[in-house]
Amino acid sequence: MFAYFALQIYLYRYQIEKPMLRKLVWIIFACTLFACSSGNTAKKPEEDSLHYYPTTPRVISKSQFRELFRKIKLFYDTSLIQTGFNGGFLVAKGGTVIYEAYNGTAHLKGTDSISKNTSFHIASTSKTFTASAILYLIEKGMLGLNDSIQKFFPSFPYKNISVKTLLCQRSGLPNYMNAMEESGWDRKKIASNTDVLNFFISNQPKLLYPSGTRFHYSNTNFVLLALIIEKVSGKTYGNFLNEFFFIPLQMRDTYVYTHADSARATPSYRWNGTKEAYTWMDETVGDKNIYSTPRDLLKWDRALYGNQLLSQAIKDSAFKPYSFEKPGIHNYGLGWRMYTLPQNKNIVYHNGWWHGNNSCFYRVITDSLTIIILGNKMNPNIYRVKPLIEATTELSFSYEDEQN
């Protein structure tokens, strides 16, 4: 209205009376006014986090959701996206997703955008499934935690190695990848779990430490555990997990890799974008080779809170530290890494790395906080979640390198 009267004064003052000239002035005025108006309406307000606030279940308030959302988004934008992250990211509290995002393409030079259904090689995070399968069989009375490995494989040459020492990484067995390469394994021959077992029976590489005396992270332990699962259940490792874990939990985008999956499996890349080559170690299971998604791993996380799969007593034993040779808060349970914090506010987790695949699966149990990061292009920032945990909880702890 003010602009209308201002224009009338302008026309009167400068005695613009000719109809055509007056009409031109009005047209210019109208166009200018429209442009200003359009510019104002086209400007979008800053995205509000409550746009993502779930309708159900509402386990946290709107104010808490907003605060968490913005902190998590800041971490994602700065620690991951700015460092070339290619993968999937999800953070949830009490099972409610606070922030979820996917970036990049499954094939780096392709057009297949990464989505909620893109399955990634979760590498050593697979060990949490292997350990849980063993504990499941223990609860069914099909084997014992202290059973000797020789009960299942009588020709196994090492004494005093039990199911338990395999689970908590205290067997002293060297990593099969190093031992077999050093002995001259034919790299043209793809190794199976049975090949690994037979190698240790035939070659008998020396133990790194006497069994049960010291923690040493070794993939051999979990290759043998996968064989025990198959021996006891009469099913392949993949079929067992599928029947008792993946299908009941509706983990539809999760599977154990076999050579038949080579065409559909998401490839992995080095930090510079070079595709990783297939190697002789790419078909062993138990220590790695589960493909999954952030959403499916959230289902796995939620199942571990209830008694659907395992009793609370046996889960407590899995999340209990077993190695105390080194001082500090970093430890290992039965298939789980952990930070042992004061007042039992422990963090249980497992990272994974294989070729260019990185995985991070953190469970801050006392806060019911879950952090899942999966990528297929080498990026060590995927593992650096301590600042995110401290920003979203009241926990504060010193970072320690994982024991090897």
* Residue 216 identity (one-letter amino acid): H
Q: What is the mean pLDDT of the chain?
A: 89
Please state, as a whole number, how many other Cβ atoms lie within 10 Å of the Cβ of residue 305: 15
Q: What is the pLDDT of residues 17-35, one digit of tens each?
A: 545 545 544 444 455 544 4
Model pLDDT, residue 48: 67
Q: Which value, in Å, is the radius of gyration of the alpha carbons in the chain?
A: 29
- Burial pattern 314-336, b for ≥16 Cβ within 10 A else e, equals bbebbbbbbbeeeeebbbbbbbb
- Burial pattern 57-80, b for ≥16 Cβ within 10 A else e, equals eeebeeeebbbbbebbbebbeebb
Q: For tokens 């499941």, name the residue.
A: 136
* Domain range summary for the chain, segments of one domain joined by +: 69-392
Do 365 and 389 touch, CB atoms closer than 8 A? no
Give the helix, strand, coil percentages of the chain, each rounded to 5: 40, 15, 45
CATH T-level assignment (fold) for domain 69-392: Beta-lactamase (3.40.710)
Model pLDDT, residue 60: 83
Distance of CA 77 to the CA centre of its chain: 18
Model pLDDT, residue 13: 47
Count of CA atoms in the C-beta half-sphere (13 A) of 59: 11
* Residue 118 identity (one-letter amino acid): T
In order along its 404 residues, the chain shows pLDDT tens digits of 444 444 444 444 444 454 554 554 444 445 554 444 444 444 444 556 776 777 655 678 888 999 999 999 999 999 999 999 999 999 999 999 999 999 999 999 899 999 999 999 999 999 999 999 999 999 999 999 999 999 999 999 999 999 999 999 999 999 999 999 999 999 999 999 999 999 999 999 999 999 999 999 999 999 999 999 999 999 999 999 999 999 999 999 999 999 999 999 999 999 999 999 999 999 999 999 999 999 999 999 999 998 889 999 999 999 999 999 988 999 999 999 999 999 888 899 999 999 999 999 999 999 999 999 999 999 999 999 999 999 999 999 887 767 54
Cis peptide leading into 57, omega within 30 of 0? yes
Report the alpha-carbon distance of residue 87 to residue 101 in Å, rounded: 9
What are the two backbone dihedrals, phi and then psi, of residue 239, each rounded to the nearest 5 degrees?
A: -65, -35
Element (H, E) at 316: helix 312-318
Report the alpha-carbon distance of residue 284 to residue 227 in Å, rounded: 10
What are the two backbone dihedrals, phi and then psi, of residue 248, each rounded to the nearest 5 degrees?
A: -60, -35
H/E/C letters for each residue in 354-384?
A: ECCEEEEEEEEHHHCEEEEEEECECCHHHHC
Sheet order of strands, 330-332 included: 96-103, 87-93, 369-375, 357-364, 347-354, 337-339, 330-332
Per the structure block, which two tokens stand in for 298? 């959230």
Strand 330-332 relative to strand 96-103, pairing:
unpaired
Q: What is the pLDDT of residues 259-276, one digit of tens each?
A: 999 999 999 999 999 999
160, with CB counted inside 10 A (0-12, 13-18, 19+), is middle
Report the alpha-carbon distance of residue 294 to residue 276 in Å, rounded: 22
